[in-house]
Amino acid sequence: MSPADLCHMRHALTLARRGLGRTWPNPAVGCVIVAPDGRVVGRGVTAPGGRPHAEPQALAQAGAAARGATAYVTLEPCAHHGRTPPCAEALVAAGVARVVTALTDPDPRVAGGGHAILRAAGIEVTEGVLAMPAARVNAGFFSRVTRGRPLVTLKIAATLDGRIATASGESRWITGAEARRRVHAMRASHDAVMVGAGTALADDPMLDVRDMGAMPQPVRIVVDSRLRLPVDCRLGRSAGAQPVWLVHTAAAPAPARDAWRAAGAELFEVAATPEGRVDPLAALSALGARGLTRVFCEGGAALAAALSTADLIDEIVWFTAGALIGGDGRAGMGALGLGRLELAPRFRLESVEPVGPDIVHFWRRAT
């Protein structure tokens, strides 16, 4: 592993990150092709929707210059026949001399098979370059393939004392414009934005990506066990233009189901908890089976608590504004009924950044 390998893999990871939120159910993969003289002759990232893959795009750019070159790929090139031949075979056919990858693809159709095709063709293969940052980029895809559910990131925007609204429910706005813009950029890098029915009823949100130019729009999900949300809300009125998915239980009345379907929403009936709420793991499994890899949960407190109790929160993005609301305000997280402190789920701090007058903390579930 040389400094040049690290530099080119970093470049490939930067390309891959640009695909986040657009390539589900596939991973966002980056590929950079470097000629023997060190020139970058091709670059590619998995296309929106997951096809074409990164490698054929980079190879097409490189053309004849791919012969004898090194290909840097953030995930093992695929080994299976889809609508096009496997990427590993495309690299062989292009005459690439060496392939450097960050991770093995956990998809059972690949799982080492891509590396094997390359080696069998006499190509030098170096694996594991920048595996840690690549695992971060691929965390959603790995979660879908190995756990059958998307990666879940919980976002909370709170005051210094952890309140997300006043007692009367006023919450617009706790954080400043910069933080809210960051949230929109985060939505765009996720496959879906998810809220509970209480939040959807109280806020009538759009849950879209705004004021950022042409951006991919995430799927908008409401977890609403009995389909209480009226179709005549902003999500309902825009369901034909931008996907709205509703996760409910068998208790949802037929007229509500019909009305939402007629409005263009996609419905997921899943198992209920003994209390009659949507079972959070059943909900996420249904979303994973439908292809989602990265879900951005924006509340409310009840959904966040249900996810936490089932240990389904992988990451937390916590914005803090320099304000106080007090104990009569609403907390970002509902009751967890822990009983003992040692049962508190713990998160590890990844990074902290100022955002305008506010602060954002990135936390990851400690395993």
Half-sphere exposure of 174 (CA within 13 A, CB side): 27
The answer to whether 69 contacts Zn ion (rule: CB under 5 A) is: no
Rounded Cα gap, residues 214 and 196, in angstroms: 27
Whose structure tokens read 């930067």?
14
Give the residue with the Cβ less far from ligand AOF, 56 or 280: 56
Torsions phi, psi of 81, nearest 5? -85, 115
What sign has the CA pseudo-torsion 138, 106, 85, 1? positive
The answer to whether 53 contacts Zn ion (rule: CB under 5 A) is: yes
The answer to whether 42 contacts ligand AOF (rule: CB under 6 A) is: no
**Which member of 8, 22, 43, 53 binds ligand AOF (CB under 6 A)?**
53
Per-residue string for binding with Zn ion, 73-102, x by CB under 5 A? -----x--------x---------------
Q: Which residues of 144-181 are buried (b: 16+ CB within 10 A; e: fewer)?
A: bbeeebbbbbbbbbbbeebbbbeeeeebeebbeeebbe
**Which member of 98, 102, 107, 209 binds ligand AOF (CB under 6 A)?**
107
Q: Does the annotation place 202 within a ligand binding site?
A: no
51 binds, among ligand AOF, Zn ion, none (CB under 5 to 8 A by kind): ligand AOF
Residues 247-286 interacting with ligand AOF (rule: CB under 6 A)? none
**Which member of 110, 134, 292, 301 binds ligand AOF (CB under 6 A)?**
110
Q: Active-site residue 55, yes or no? A: yes
Rounded Cα gap, residues 62 and 43, in angstroms: 8
**How far, in whole angstroms, is CA 245 from its chain's centroid?**
16
Rounded Cα gap, residues 285 and 305, in angstroms: 18
Give the residue with the Cβ less far from ligand AOF, 27 or 299: 27
* Residue (of 311, 300, 252) closest to 278 by Cα position: 252
Torsions phi, psi of 12, nearest 5? -65, -35
Q: Does the annotation place 363 within a ligand binding site?
A: no
Edge to edge, the sheet with strand 124-126 lists 40-45, 30-34, 70-73, 98-101, 124-126
Rg (CA), the chain: 22
Torsions phi, psi of 71, nearest 5? -105, 130
**Which member of 39, 51, 136, 210 binds ligand AOF (CB under 6 A)?**
51
Shortest CB 93 distance to Zn ion, Å: 13
Which of these segments, 46-54, 265-273, 282-290, 306-314, binds ligand AOF (CB under 6 A)?
Answer: 46-54
Which of 55, 76, 89, 315 is the catalytic position?
55
110 binds, among Zn ion, ligand AOF, none (CB under 5 to 8 A by kind): ligand AOF
Q: Does the annotation place 87 within a ligand binding site?
A: yes
Residues 199-258 interacting with ligand AOF (rule: CB under 6 A)? none
The answer to whether 115 contacts Zn ion (rule: CB under 5 A) is: no
Residues 56-95 interacting with ligand AOF (rule: CB under 6 A)? 75, 77-78, 82, 87
Q: Which residue is nearest to ligand AOF (CB)?
A: 82
Give the residue with the Cβ less far from ligand AOF, 50 or 280: 50
Per DSSP, the residues of 271-314 read -B-TTSSBPHHHHHHHHHHTT--EEEE---HHHHHHHHHTT---
Catalytic residues: 55
Give binding residues for NADP(+) as ranges. Answer: 157, 173, 199, 225, 300-306
